[in-house]
Amino acid sequence: MDKLLKSANTSAEQIIKWAEEHKIETCFDRAEKLKPCPIGESGACCRVCHMGPCRLIGKNAEEEAMGVCGAHLSTVVARNLVRMIAAGTAAHSDHARDMAMTLLAAATGEAKDFKIKDVKKLYRVAGILEIEFEGRPVNDVAKDVALKFLEDFGRQTGELNYVKRAPKKTQERWKKWGITPRGIDREVVEAMHRTSIGVDHEPDHLLTHGLRTALADGWGGCMVSSDITDILFGTPKPIKAEASFGIFKEDEVNLIVHGHEPTLAEIIVDVASSADLIEYAKSKGAKGINLGGMCCTANEVLMRHGIPTAGGFTNQELGIMTGLIDAMTVDVQCIMPAIAELSKKFHTKIITTSKKAMIQGAVHVEYDEHHARETAEKIVRMAIDNYPNRTKKGSHITDKFPLIAGFSHEYIEYMQGGRWRASFRPLNDAIMAGRIRGAVGLAGCDNPRVPSTGLHRFLAMELIRNDVIVLSTGCGSAACGTAGYLTPEMALENAGPGLREVCEAIGIPPILHLGACVDNSRILTIAAAMAAEGGLSEEIGGMPAVGIAPEWMSEKAIAIGCYFAASGFPVIFGGESPVKASKEVTKLMTETWFERFKGALHFEADPEKILVLALEYIDKAREALKLRKYVPGQFGAERVLMDMAARREIEKTARAHSGVGG
Ligand code: BF8
């Protein structure tokens, strides 16, 4: 990886150069000019009251420094981290709440533009929630599911509905250490209360509640959001699409959906293909309407409709600088306010759509689920009307890469045994045999403070070379997609021989795109299913699996990292540690969390060290589980393990002999 580059994506780098030549500032320039405050960066700045901000610095700060109130450094550092967890949890979970409200409005007929698309998933979820569904009208079941999910936000005591989806042993650990989440809102509010001036000062006690809050995010907010999105819009299955700036079309209206919420974007997908609007686009001189996405809204519509993605977080300004985007809708989260000002240098219209989020200089077209189609049509027309204003200005890029996305929990289960015997047995067997060394969830943001997307690319490639299967989400997926890493051919060329054998047998890429950031919850349920399948760990902790977010920047990433750690995954984040100032807090998050939950959260800036640490965790887990020792290059000659046609034949014969139909 060339550390001098601002982005590892060649097209992005080209646009950055163009911007420099034209004296247009981007996040890359701002990152260079604005160095992080070293006190805040390490977690040592306390600003929870106005006697400060207190900067707890000095040679013996850990032992000696204290704020005006007497708060020690470890308290301040722990408090700051817990506040990040609370903010991240609030973001995912507020998104989930809106999804639940939309499901309710769809079920009661109030949001007429939304219907239950995936009844099978609705029934699956109803089954988990112990809601009767057989013989009942679909909308009645959907209403009960929505109401049951909404209980999770306001519950004061007891536990979240989905706690029971975790393996029993994992649940027992949570009970033992007092981190079973009660209600989502309650945990977030309590986190804010405990971290306000003069309340909870014991670092371990604070962090323990941080983990409970994070679990409310993972097994609450994120999981609820993924499930409702599947129910309303369909559970993803593999689908082809394209990635990078070449997805913009010179001769069509380019409309980009950016942000996180899938509801309005879903309706835009539908509206943009309507004959009358395509005719309208033609009347303005365009050949058609080209819809694309950015960040996690992109992942949502890519997974379900094959809508192409222009990439992740650091691509948003660069996309505008192609001069080809006629309109960009933004909802919530990870929207750089800089795009509004930047868009004025081009012809792009930035349209804010959420009741919760406005940007000065943008046009606001407010969305609400009761008038979704109307809003979507208005937006598509605005994009079309803006097409004639396009100038020749901009850095036009043509390269794009094919990709395959859409690996939901349900599909991964299906691909390992067909409809009759969907299971996780083959995957567990492949790990037990050492064909697959382990698994890594490669998630999180891309970041202008490193060669953007470069750490994702490096780790994705090195992990698959080491026979580690990669499950990617969020901007990690965008980074892999814009590098051309999300195709099965990648397995042939780059994966280690054991992993390659498995990928070839099933016809999957070695890097599986699981969706948006909220879809990290799919990794939790997959790990739970693998534990239930047997042969590996009986709980999530102890699996040869690791979470990595090498370029993280968002508080949401911290919430995710912590719910992974509390669930039993060792997690490694890149960049400087936000708890670096306190050795005590660092030790709690690595050693103590590992003893209690078999999970941990490390911060390591060097990507090569991240790789080594991840492989060490995987190999140690294999050893503890007494699995066959992983030997590089051991497999490759044999081709039998996951020949699914052969498996089905064997099962068919077995069924015939036992007289079982199917
Ligand atoms: O939720 S990976 S930059 S877009 S926070 Fe944001 Fe980070 Fe991207 Fe999606 Ni997740």
Give the tens place of pLDDT for each residue, 320-338: 999 999 999 999 999 999 9
Distance from first CA to last CA of the chain, Å, rounded? 52
Nearest protein CA to atom 4 of ligand 1, as residue: 295
| Ligand 1 neighbourhood includes 474 CB (under 6 angstroms) | yes
| Amino acid letter, residue 213 | T
Where are the strands (E) in 354-502, listed by range? 363-364, 401-405, 438-442, 468-473
Length of the chain: 662
d(CA 40, ligand 1 centre) in Å: 22
447-496 tens-digit pLDDT: 999 999 999 999 999 999 999 999 999 999 999 999 999 998 877 789 99
Site to substitute for ligand 1 among 226, 334, 482, most atoms within 8 A of C-beta: 334
| Ligand 1 neighbourhood includes 518 CB (under 6 angstroms) | no
Angle at 356 between CA 351 and CA 360, to 5 degrees: 45
Helix (H, G, I), strand (E, B) or coil at 159: coil
| Ligand 1 neighbourhood includes 312 CB (under 6 angstroms) | yes
Q: Give the confidence band of 661 by pLDDT, cuts at 50, 70, 90.
A: very low
Nearest protein CA to atom 6 of ligand 1, as residue: 334
89-138 tens-digit pLDDT: 999 999 999 999 999 999 999 999 999 999 999 999 999 999 999 999 99
Q: Which atom of ligand 1 is nearest to the CA of 478?
A: 8
d(CA 262, ligand 1 centre) in Å: 14
| Ligand 1 neighbourhood includes 517 CB (under 6 angstroms) | yes
What integer pLDDT is reported at residue 417 of this predicted model? 79
d(CA 303, ligand 1 centre) in Å: 16
What percentage of residues in the chain have a pLDDT greater than 90? 90
Q: Which atom of ligand 1 is nearest to the CA of 556?
A: 5
Q: Is the pLDDT of residue 540 over 60?
A: yes
- Dig out the tokens for 51 from the structure: 């006697």
d(CA 257, ligand 1 centre) in Å: 14
d(CA 423, ligand 1 centre) in Å: 30
Interatomic CA distance for residues 484 and 524, integer angstroms: 26
What percentage of residues in the chain have a pLDDT greater than 70? 96
d(CA 453, ligand 1 centre) in Å: 13
Q: Environment class of residue 313 by beta-carbon count within 10 Å: exposed (0-12), middle (13-18) or buried (19+)?
A: buried
- Dig out the tokens for 537 from the structure: 């760990």
d(CA 333, ligand 1 centre) in Å: 8
Site to substitute for ligand 1 among 27, 92, 296, most atoms within 8 A of C-beta: 296
Sheet hosting strand 570-573, strand order edge to edge: 511-515, 468-473, 438-442, 545-549, 570-573, 600-603
d(CA 625, ligand 1 centre) in Å: 34
Specify the pTM.
Answer: 0.95
Nearest protein CA to atom 7 of ligand 1, as residue: 445
Among candidate residues 324, 364, 366, the one with its CA nearest the CA of residue 346: 324
Nearest protein CA to atom 10 of ligand 1, as residue: 517
What integer pLDDT is reported at residue 393 of this predicted model? 85
| Ligand 1 neighbourhood includes 448 CB (under 6 angstroms) | no
Q: Is the pLDDT of residue 376 over 80?
A: yes
What integer pLDDT is reported at residue 90 of this predicted model? 98
Nearest protein CA to atom 9 of ligand 1, as residue: 296
| Ligand 1 neighbourhood includes 558 CB (under 6 angstroms) | no
Nearest protein CA to atom 3 of ligand 1, as residue: 445
Among candidate residues 660, 2, 6, 645, the one with its CA nearest the CA of residue 314: 6
d(CA 444, ligand 1 centre) in Å: 6
Q: Which atom of ligand 1 is nearest to the CA of 312?
A: 8
Site to substitute for ligand 1 among 95, 261, 514, 517, most atoms within 8 A of C-beta: 517
The alpha-carbon radius of gyration of the chain (Å, integer) is 24
Q: Which atom of ligand 1 is nearest to the CA of 476?
A: 2
Nearest protein CA to atom 1 of ligand 1, as residue: 517
Interatomic CA distance for residues 132 and 112, integer angstroms: 25
What integer pLDDT is reported at residue 125 of this predicted model? 98
Interatomic CA distance for residues 441 and 227, integer angstroms: 19
Q: Which atom of ligand 1 is nearest to the CA of 552?
A: 7
Sheet hosting strand 289-294, strand order edge to edge: 289-294, 253-259, 327-330, 349-352, 363-364
Cα separation values, 115 from 129, 230, 235, 323, 597, Å: 21, 12, 14, 36, 40
Which carries the bigger pLDDT value, residue 419 or residue 534? 534
b (16+ CB within 10 A) / e for 205-221:
ebbbbbbbbbbbbbbbb
* Among the ranges given (194-208, 523-537, 634-648), the one the predictor scored with the smallest mean pLDDT: 634-648
H or E stretch at 83: helix 73-107
572-631 tens-digit pLDDT: 999 999 999 999 999 999 999 999 999 999 999 999 999 999 999 999 999 999 999 999
Alpha-carbon dihedral sign for residues 557, 562, 564, 569 = positive
| Ligand 1 neighbourhood includes 293 CB (under 6 angstroms) | no
Q: Is the pLDDT of residue 658 over 60?
A: no
d(CA 475, ligand 1 centre) in Å: 6
User: What is the β-pairing status of strands 45-46 and 54-55?
Assistant: antiparallel
| Ligand 1 neighbourhood includes 554 CB (under 6 angstroms) | yes
d(CA 216, ligand 1 centre) in Å: 19
What integer pLDDT is reported at residue 491 of this predicted model? 73
Give residue for tokens 């004061």: 156
Q: Which atom of ligand 1 is nearest to the CA of 296?
A: 9
d(CA 456, ligand 1 centre) in Å: 13
| Ligand 1 neighbourhood includes 309 CB (under 6 angstroms) | no
